[in-house]
Structure 1
Amino acid sequence: MFSHGGLDLTDVSLNALRAFEAAARHLSFTRAGLELSVTQAAVSHQVKSLEARLGAPLFRRTARGLVLTDEGHALLPTLTEAFERMSRVLGQFHGGRLKEVLTLSVVGTFAVGWLLPRLSAFRAAHPNVDLRLLTNNNRVDLAGESLDYAIRFGDGVWPGCEAERVAPAPFAPLASPALAEKLRRPADLAEVPLLRSYRVEDWPRWFAAAGVSGVTARGPLFDSSWIMVQAAVLGEGVALAPPSMFAGEIAAGRIVQPFAVQVDAGAYWLARLRSRPVTRAMAAFRGWLADARGAGHDSAA
């Protein structure tokens, strides 16, 4: 191993480096010993042996405790980073195999309404995938956020992306039971607050499908359909959202679909950058997603 005129790793004990790093973080041999499950004397001995190998003091022992020398300050951040990186890699081993990270961003409505109830099944099927789950409001930067996949709502056409249709999601009005009692026909929606998302075309499209004209949505604007529907549950107005993603709320009677008319405003898609190679973890998730839908687990289908 090259030493560039100085020591190389074969000259230094890993235990000594670990003892110094812990003692430097705590500025205490006693607390370092507790962290490493060794005695204070063992930590002190390891640090002294490291100082001897380096030919430089790493601590000054003062009446008020330990103080790092300039040499100690220079060594600490590099060791801390190195041990943290080793810990992360070692923590990725599971059952004799290295766990592979999968970073997935999911539009909030799909995350809560479909994915979260099924996550345990995915983990059981693929224990070697270390899933990192982010949520979005359908505005996603796959490259900037270093995402493997994003589940998005729309038409499936995004620049530089390859998208596979996951589930249809026709929209319909959703209201609290108390508010729904006031709605006998679609035109009655003109008399109640209509909650809005950033998709300004959704309400006009639904009214056109229902044969109603002259009604304008003027209720509060939300950047999350999930939060918008929770507001509807509380009686704040009528939300326009996919009933399939709120089957639990509908089954529990917390919210009602007062009209059968639904409108196709888009679908959920699994998207990735065309330039991003498909990893084993990505292939595993894509296959699991297809199997879950094909087995009839997709309530949105």
Structure 2
Amino acid sequence: MDRPNLPLNALRAFEVAARQGSFTQAAIELRVSQAAVSHQIKGLEDLLGVQLFTRTPKGLLLTDEAIALFPVINESLDRVGRVLDGFLDGRYQETLHVGVVTTFAVGWLMPRLTAFRSAHPRIDLRIWTNNNRVDISKEGLHMAIRFGAGRWSGMEAVPLMEAPLTPLCAPRLAENLKKPADLHGHFLLRSYRADEWPSWFEKAGAVCPNLCGPIFDSSIAMADIAETGGGVALLSPAMFGDRLEAGRLAAPFPARIETGRYWLTHAAHKPPTPAMLSFQEWLLKRVSKDPSLSVPKAGPVAT
């Protein structure tokens, strides 16, 4: 029996809709109308003689047929796209999309990217920053650098560096901070991880005061406020070394707590590309040679 001639546009529409779980989001990614996506999917279903999606109030559900088809189409289109991307400027390059939590991107990675590009001129590295909430598949990323415990469903995670937290503030405030209890008279800047300040005060052997005020999802924002004297923030010195060296921030106490690490992650079910392997090797070497960092000894973690 002859196989049907499958239209590439319809296969692409199916792959994006299945990945996004929404015709609306698929239309946004493909830069077409929702009606166009629906038309492509309907045509593909008619051609194959099967139903691919079931609509529910929470979004699209893949049928058994779609579940069988999706990984094949996803991997095939991904491979074709990677190769085609390489010829955009008339010579072959491998494009690498990496999501990076903003604190790590600004505080450590970006100042070192010139060295990576010099060492790997055939890799077009594209950085996409985030606030530590990232979905590699839905965002079309190859890898992501994120902060946490190293366990993300379906991800392989390689530890990069530890990032213990300690109070950082403007030098003029630090002059009057002789013991942890002195912090009670200052505005303590908080992240969305509510246990950080209580954990630090416990480590420092002091009582944590009642915490109030705004909650931040950006360490950089907290560092900016702390630098102007607007409060004291729990931050990683490794990510703000330039400000500490320049005397814009000060670390008044030695006590530090570890709440997680930075990890390099990628989808466990997809084999890494040569560009992914090159970036991982370069990253691990640079981290290991940085004397200011505490490098974890644990090996890769797959979940």
The TM-score normalised by the length of structure 2 is: 0.67
Deviation at 1:199, TM superposition (A): 1.1
**Gapped regions of structure 2 (runs ≥ 5):** 1-83, 295-303
In structure 2, the partner of 1:91 is: 88
| 1:113-160 Cα distance to aligned partner (Å, 9 max, x none) | 110110000000101111110111111111111211111111101111
2:241 maps to 1:244: no
Deviation at 1:201, TM superposition (A): 1.1
Larger Rg: 1
2:293 maps to 1:300: yes
- Asked whether the equivalents of residues 85 and 94 of structure 2 are also in contact (C-alpha less than 8 Å), the reply is no
Q: Give aligned pairs, total.
A: 212
In structure 2, the partner of 1:153 is: 147
Aligned-residue RMSD, C-alpha:
1.8
For the residues of structure 2 that align with 1:264 and 1:191, how far apart are their CA atoms? 25
For the residues of structure 2 that align with 1:112 and 1:214, how far apart are their CA atoms? 30
Summarize the Cα distance change of 1:293–1:93 in structure 2 as closer, same or farther, 3 Å threshold.
farther
Deviation at 1:285, TM superposition (A): 0.2
| 1:20-57 Cα distance to aligned partner (Å, 9 max, x none) | xxxxxxxxxxxxxxxxxxxxxxxxxxxxxxxxxxxxxx
In structure 1, the partner of 2:198 is: 204
In structure 1, the partner of 2:266 is: 272
- Asked whether the equivalents of residues 202 and 208 of structure 2 are also in contact (C-alpha less than 8 Å), the reply is no
2:192 maps to 1:193: no
For the residues of structure 2 that align with 1:276 and 1:216, how far apart are their CA atoms? 47
- Asked whether the equivalents of residues 138 and 152 of structure 1 are also in contact (C-alpha less than 8 Å), the reply is yes
Partner AA of 1:170 in structure 2: P
In structure 1, the partner of 2:250 is: 256
**Gapped regions of structure 1 (runs ≥ 5):** 1-86
2:275 maps to 1:281: yes
Deviation at 1:265, TM superposition (A): 1.0
- Asked whether the equivalents of residues 92 and 100 of structure 1 are also in contact (C-alpha less than 8 Å), the reply is no
Q: 1:121-140 alignment to 2 at 5 Å?
A: 121-140=115-134
Partner AA of 2:290 in structure 1: H
- Asked whether the equivalents of residues 86 and 94 of structure 2 are also in contact (C-alpha less than 8 Å), the reply is no
For the residues of structure 2 that align with 1:247 and 1:101, how far apart are their CA atoms? 30
| 1:203-236 Cα distance to aligned partner (Å, 9 max, x none) | 1110110111241332432111111111111111
Partner AA of 1:267 in structure 2: R
Partner AA of 1:196 in structure 2: R
In structure 2, the partner of 1:176 is: 170
